[in-house]
Amino acid sequence: MRLFDNAAFGLAAALFLLPAAAQAHFQLIYTPEVNLENPGDVPLKLVFWHPFENGHVMDMGEPQEFYAFFRGEKIDLKPSLKEVTFEGSENSAKAFEATLPAKRAGDYILVAVPAPYYEESEDIYIQQITKSYVNRGQLPTDWMEPQGLATEILPLNRPTNILAGSTFTGRVLAEGEPVAGAEIEVEYMAAEPLMDENKPGEPKASPMPGGAVVAISDANGYFTFGIPKSGFWGFAALGSGPAKEHEGKELSQDAVIWVRAYDVE
């Protein structure tokens, strides 16, 4: 369910549960440890996948842009990209690996602008502009700042150490302006990628009955979701971007964010 009448949802309430497609496309920027103690090169995986279902993997084209923001500086990561084959539970597809040099303390905000993907079953293109976060040295710097993307989700909770059982609040933006009534698919990374094997590990959860979990942003672009379990959680605001067409077909330009939750030990 990718099309929504935004004008109909100028609501103050933050969260609704609605039926949606059984499987949700999600662009990943993944590394297993997002809180780093020591400086070094951080391995990354870029996979276009259905991680909650441990399902079908889609072929990625080379990203149009891939970089990190650190203390206002833009670090180009495209030179580190290397094409790999990711072996999902159902099929294999093209993905990428890369490296983030995390030398100094602070927040590294990873941004991928993938090439539009043609989804034959819907006869549309999908472009998921994705953000993920790594922190070194427990020093907060940039995580709360927007990156000026065509569309993005701005976190209102520090995205690298959310408490399982608490909530995550985000704000959907398009060209810096809030998006009311955005349809936001919620995804749990049930099977995390094995970095050395380019395949998923064992799933830690099963997909929800009734299809994807969906939230709706309020009149000011905000949404809140209760995080029930530790691990990686993804949020995709469908069609929130300004671009609506690619190569003569409909384009769903989505904003994606990944956050990490932990249990209290």
Between CA 199 and CA 163 the distance in angstroms is: 27
Tell me, yes or no, whether 1 lies in a domain. no
pLDDT of residue 23: 54
Question: What value does the mean pLDDT take over residues 26-41?
Answer: 97
Tell me, yes or no, whether 65 lies in a domain. yes
Tell me, yes or no, whether 209 lies in a domain. yes
Residue 237 in tokens: 């605001």
Asked whether residue 15 carries a pLDDT value surpassing 80, the answer given is: no
Q: Are 174 and 153 in contact (CB under 8 A)?
A: no
pLDDT of residue 207: 82
Q: Which tops the pLDDT comparison, 20 or 247? A: 247
Q: State pLDDT tens for residues 191-202.
A: 999 999 999 999
Asked whether residue 164 carries a pLDDT value surpassing 60, the answer given is: yes
Tell me, yes or no, whether 128 lies in a domain. yes
Between CA 158 and CA 240 the distance in angstroms is: 22
The full DSSP string for the chain is -----GGGG--S---------SS--EEEEE-S--EESS-EEEEEEEEEE-TTTT--EEPPPPPSEEEEEETTEEEE-GGG-EEEEEE-SS-EEEEEEEEEEE-SSEEEEEEEEPPPEEETTTTEEEEEEEEEEEEETT---STTS----SEEEEESS-TTSEETTSEEEEEEEETTEE-TT-EEEEEE--SPEETTTTEE---SS-PPTTS-EEEE--TTSEEEEE--SSEEEEEEEET-SS--EETTEEEEEEEEEEEEEE---
Its sign, for the CA torsion 33, 36, 42, 47, is positive
- Where in the sequence is the domain holding 105, given as residue range(s)? 6-262
Tell me, yes or no, whether 163 lies in a domain. yes
Asked whether residue 16 carries a pLDDT value surpassing 70, the answer given is: no
Tell me, yes or no, whether 186 lies in a domain. yes
| Percentage with pLDDT > 70 across the chain | 91
Residue 2 in tokens: 């990718």
Q: C-alpha 20: how far from its chain's center?
A: 18
Q: Which residues of 17-28 are buried (b: 16+ CB within 10 A; e: fewer)?
A: eeebeebbbbbb
Domain count, the chain: 1
Closest listed residue to residue 191, CA positions, set 208, 210, 207: 207
Q: State pLDDT tens for residues 165-200.
A: 999 999 999 999 999 999 999 999 999 999 999 999
**81 residue type, one letter:** L
CATH number for the domain harbouring residue 178: 2.60.40.1930
Averaged pLDDT of the chain: 91
Question: What value does the mean pLDDT take over residues 143-160?
Answer: 98
Tell me, yes or no, whether 175 lies in a domain. yes
Tell me, yes or no, whether 134 lies in a domain. yes
Q: Using 50, 70 and 90 to split pLDDT, how confident is the model at 208?
A: confident
